[in-house]
Each structure stands twice: as C-alpha cells, then as structure tokens.
C-alpha cells in the first residue's frame, strides 16, 4: 500500500480526519490518534465539535510542499 501523492493531498478539503491525514505520513489510524493524544502529530490538529481534524495545508507544509498553488 502506498500513501497519497502530493497532488492528491492538494485536492483534499481544508481539513481531514486523522486517519486520512495519517496516510500522508505513512501512519496508521491508531498511531495517528495516539500521536494526537500526545500532541505529537506531525501536522496541525484542530478540535472541531469534539472531533479532531487535521489541517491539509499543514500536512503539505510538513511534507515540504507548502506552496499549494
């Protein structure tokens, strides 16, 4: 299994669920939630309505692809 390409990630909505965000880093769903719990997820995580959302722009920035145009 391979992760999403940068072009695919650029097509994601502004925020994604932690399982989807984790795929960009090759992180499993359970490990994504563990990293969020510890405050160590490699991208910005927002708490929205009691749920965690990962900011897509911060995923791209963490992957060195911060120019999203």
According to CATH, the topology of domain 6-62 is Arc Repressor Mutant, subunit A (1.10.10)
Name the residue with higher pLDDT: 3 or 23.
Answer: 23
Report the alpha-carbon angle 5-54-52, nearest 5. 145
Which alpha helices (H) appear in the chain, and where do they start and end?
6-10, 18-23, 29-38, 56-62
Residue range 4-32, pLDDT digits in tens: 999 999 999 999 999 999 999 999 999 99
Q: Tell me the pLDDT of the chain averaged across its residues.
A: 93
Residue 52, φ and ψ in degrees, nearest 5: -85, 135
How far apart (Å, rounded) are the C-alpha atoms in residues 34 and 40? 8
Q: What is the mean pLDDT of residues 25-47?
A: 97
């Amino acid at each position: 299994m391979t992760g999403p390409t940068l072009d695919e990630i650029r097509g994601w909505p502004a925020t994604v669920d932690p399982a989807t965000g984790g795929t960009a880093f090759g992180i499993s769903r359970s490990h994504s939630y563990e990293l969020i719990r510890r405050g160590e997820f490699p991208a910005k995580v927002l708490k929205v309505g009691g749920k965690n959302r990962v900011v897509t722009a911060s995923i791209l920035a963490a992957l060195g692809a911060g120019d999203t145009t």
